[in-house]
């Protein structure tokens, strides 16, 4: 295990030093008219054997090694400048780690990425998970408010997993809730009650003026259900896997 970790650490440090990380983009679709509304940027670490290492494998290590600020700033810069090459109606979503809030400069990093790229703030969505709100809630909410005041959207990612404290929903006015992909997996297993829970979260979002995106949509059966349940947006392999920016064809844009 230690050897593996050492090898991963070396690959990661090299990639950070030489801007060797990659971003892939997954389409986000408006449910009502099934049009493309934007992309989520997802980071990958290329391994020497040519494979791509998933963020779940290296982000925790990056946090531990205090490399996450540098990686996060690069992801923001790269995603914003890529979005500048798309039509203006398309948005780009970037995932943030709780560790990026701990250092206290996340507002500056976001502001700089917007300024340097020229991207209009309303085209940028920042995805956070509720783990961020578990600790240090006051300071975190203050940082989120500053970000929102800059005009960017704040999204609650992986909603419905973890602690799922509903109080976060009234402590901060999220622009969007993303229902975790485990709900679509459970739907596929025909788990009792999952349909009711998904419909209820969508209704809750509507009532709170928050848009609701469902992730991990893989089948036409799930799409039909979500259309009837009035989900706002959907994202998943059914509509498109994450791909490099260079593979986003002019026909999709
Ligand atoms: P997330 O933000 O919830 O991203 C969605 C994950 O679900 C992505 O995995 C995506 O590839 C996967 N996915 C999308 N559609 C489907 C589907 O239809 N079926 C299934 N089974 N999976 C689907 P990925 O790219 O491995 O990312 C995992 C997590 O890593 C992300 O979850 C996010 O929390 C984190 N992450 C990704 N990029 C970054 C980043 O730049 N910075 C930080 N801090 N975290 C990141
Ligand atoms: Mg996300
Ligand atoms: Mg998610």
Residue 169 is predicted with a pLDDT of 87
CB of 119 closer than 8 Å to CB of 56: no
Q: Closest Cα to atom 46, ligand 1: which residue?
A: 95
Residues in the ligand 1 pocket, defined by CB under 6 Å: 26, 42-43, 54-56, 59, 75, 95-97, 127, 157-158, 181, 215-218, 236-237, 242
Q: How far is the CA of 223 from the centre of ligand 1 (A)?
A: 20
Residue 103 is predicted with a pLDDT of 81
Q: How far is the CA of 3 from the centre of ligand 3 (A)?
A: 30
Residues in the chain predicted with pLDDT less than 50, given as ranges, are none
Residue 250 is predicted with a pLDDT of 85
Residue 137 is predicted with a pLDDT of 81
Residue 164 is predicted with a pLDDT of 64
Q: Closest Cα to atom 35, ligand 1: which residue?
A: 55
Strand 153-159 and strand 243-244: the pairing is unpaired
Q: Closest Cα to atom 21, ligand 1: which residue?
A: 216
**CA-closest candidate to residue 76, choices 124, 28, 118:** 124
Element holding 53 (H helix, E strand): strand 52-53
Element holding 139 (H helix, E strand): helix 137-149
Strand 211-214 and strand 176-179: the pairing is parallel
Mutating to test ligand 1, I would choose from 23, 95, 160, 176 the residue with most ligand atoms within 8 A of its C-beta, which is: 95
Question: For residues 184-222, b (16+ Cβ closer than 10 Å) or e, as one string?
Answer: bebbeeeeeebbeebbebbeebeeeebbbbbbbbbeeeb
Supply the pTM of this predicted model. 0.96
């Amino acid at each position: 295990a230690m050897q593996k970790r050492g090898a991963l650490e070396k690959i990661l440090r090299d990639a950070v030093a030489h801007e060797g990380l990659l971003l892939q983009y997954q389409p986000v679709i408006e449910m009502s008219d099934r049009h493309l509304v934007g992309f989520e940027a997802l980071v990958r670490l290329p391994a020497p054997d040519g494979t791509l290492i998933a963020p779940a494998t290296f982000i925790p290590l990056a946090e531990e090694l205090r490399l996450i600020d540098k990686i996060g700033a690069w992801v923001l810069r790269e995603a914003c400048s890529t979005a500048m090459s798309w039509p203006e109606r398309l948005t780009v979503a970037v995932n943030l780690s709780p560790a990026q809030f701990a250092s206290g400069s996340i507002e500056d990093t976001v502001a700089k990425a917007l300024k340097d790229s020229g991207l209009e703030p309303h085209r940028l969505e920042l995805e956070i998970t509720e783990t961020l709100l578990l600790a240090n809630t006051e300071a975190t909410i203050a940082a989120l408010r500053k970000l929102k005041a800059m005009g960017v959207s704040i999204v609650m990612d992986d909603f419905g997993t973890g602690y799922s404290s509903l109080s976060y929903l009234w402590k901060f006015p999220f622009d969007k809730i993303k229902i975790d992909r485990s709900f679509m997996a459970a739907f596929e297993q025909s788990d009792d009650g999952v349909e009711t829970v998904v419909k209820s979260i969508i209704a809750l979002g509507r009532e709170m003026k928050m848009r609701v995106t469902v992730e991990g949509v893989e089948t036409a059966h799930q799409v039909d259900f979500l259309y009837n349940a009035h989900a706002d947006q959907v994202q998943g392999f059914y509509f498109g896997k994450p791909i490099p920016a260079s593979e986003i064809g002019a026909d999709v844009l």
